[in-house]
Amino acid sequence: MKRKCLVAALVALSVFFGAPSVASAKRNLADYSLRIHIYGTNWHTDRWGYHAFGRANLFDDKGVPHGVEYTYDCSEHMMASDGNEAYPAKWKKPGQSVEVVFGEIGASPDSLHACEMKISEKSFVYYRHAGGVGTETAQEFMEHHKGQIPSVGASKPEDVPGSANSHNL
């Protein structure tokens, strides 16, 4: 009986002390073959983190855009994308949510944050228009807005935008 209690205690301690190393494990950027280009974002913060919603294009692994509305509740926030900048992403729940990675401004390039974004796909895609956001078909977007199309395929460190604030709530 004492042996079982000792084993249980050791297992509990190893899980407790091993959790930080699992939580800080490096992400394999090659797993992030999707890109999300944020056009509009609205967020607020409180002691639990950032709460946001907005509009974006989610580019699949072939580079085809899909317009999405999104929400997230995360410890840091993501800024709107510029040019062809896009956040690397991978499916968490296909068609429902993606995990997005981003860097921290002023931190080392391998210091990454992750955030789950819940999404709702639209029948159109977004593009910048007259200081706002317009919509059109994916085919029209691919023809007219080549400067907003991000890289395709497995992500590399240079694909990760720095976006997070360097502070704690």
Return the SS3 of 8: helix
pLDDT reported for residue 119: 98
Residue 87 lies in a domain: yes
Range of the domain at 144: 29-164
Q: Is the pTM of this model over 0.85?
A: no
Residue 13: is its pLDDT beyond 70? no
pLDDT reported for residue 7: 46
Residue 146 lies in a domain: yes
**Cα–Cα dist 76/113, whole Å:** 8
The kind and range of the H/E element at 103 are strand 97-104
pLDDT tens-digit readout, 51-99: 999 999 999 999 999 999 999 999 888 999 988 999 999 999 999 999 9
**Cα–Cα dist 54/38, whole Å:** 8
Please, which pLDDT band fits residue 18 given cuts at 50, 70 and 90?
A: very low
Alpha carbon distances (Å) from 135 to 81, 86, 123:
17, 18, 10
Residue 115 lies in a domain: yes
Residue 21 lies in a domain: no
pLDDT reported for residue 165: 58
Residue 79 lies in a domain: yes
Q: Is 45 exposed, middle or buried (0-12, 13-18, 19+ CB in 10 A)?
A: middle
Phi first, then psi: give them for residue 144, nearest 5 degrees: -100, -15
Residue 80 lies in a domain: yes
Q: Which long-range contacts (CB under 8 A, 24 or more apart) does 94-101 make?
A: 95/119, 95/121, 98/34, 98/36, 98/58, 99/32, 100/36, 101/27, 101/29, 101/32, 101/155, 101/160
pLDDT tens-digit readout, 120-167: 999 999 998 888 899 999 999 999 998 889 988 888 888 888 776 555
pLDDT reported for residue 131: 84
Residue 9 lies in a domain: no
pLDDT reported for residue 164: 61
Number of independent structural domains in the chain: 1
For residues 99-109, give the mean pLDDT. Answer: 85
Task: Report which of 139, 131, 79, 137 is spatially closest to residue 105, judged by C-alpha positions.
Answer: 79
Residue 169 lies in a domain: no
Q: Of residues 26 and 75, which shows the higher confidence score?
A: 75
Alpha carbon distances (Å) from 117 to 5, 31, 137, 140:
41, 16, 23, 26
Q: Of residues 123 and 10, which shows the higher confidence score?
A: 123
**Cα–Cα dist 137/42, whole Å:** 24
